[in-house]
Amino acid sequence: MAKKTMTLNLTDAEMRVLEMLCEQKQMSKTLLLRQALRLYQRVEERLEAGGKLFIEDESTKEKSEIMML
């Protein structure tokens, strides 16, 4: 599939987070940002359909809602 190139302007703090996540996930910046876009789209789709996003603690089963813009 044809791909397009873009320039992304990030602050130092944003770049540090991006690099930290790339290190953690062993992924390139491009791949990590593509994955983030996929996840963002899925979350938006669920929220627009009336869903809520929760994080569940595996051990306690306690759920906390994540506020989304």
Partner 1 sequence: MSRDEGMEVSSVFLLDNQSGSMVDAELWDAITEKNLADWEADWIPQVFDMMKALKQKGVERSLWPQSRHWHWSDKVRAVEERLSNQCFSIVCDDVTQAMMITDLTRRAQLEGQKNNHLVYIDFLETAPWNRAGLIGQPSKYSGAGSILIRAAIELSKLEGFCGRIGLHSLPQSNDFYAKAGMIDLGVDVNYQNLRYFEMTPEQADEFVIKGES
Residues that bind partner 1 (CB under 8 A): 1-2, 25-28, 31-32, 34-35, 37-39, 41-42, 45
Q: 1 or 13, CB closer to partner 1?
A: 1
Least gap, CB of 49 to partner 1 (angstroms): 12
Q: Report how far apart, in Å, the C-alpha atoms of 15 and of each of 23, 28, 55, 62 are.
A: 12, 13, 26, 32
Question: Is residue 43 a contact partner of residue 53, using CB atoms and an 8 Å limit?
Answer: yes
39 or 47: CB nearest partner 1: 39
Extract the tokens encoding 30.
């491009």
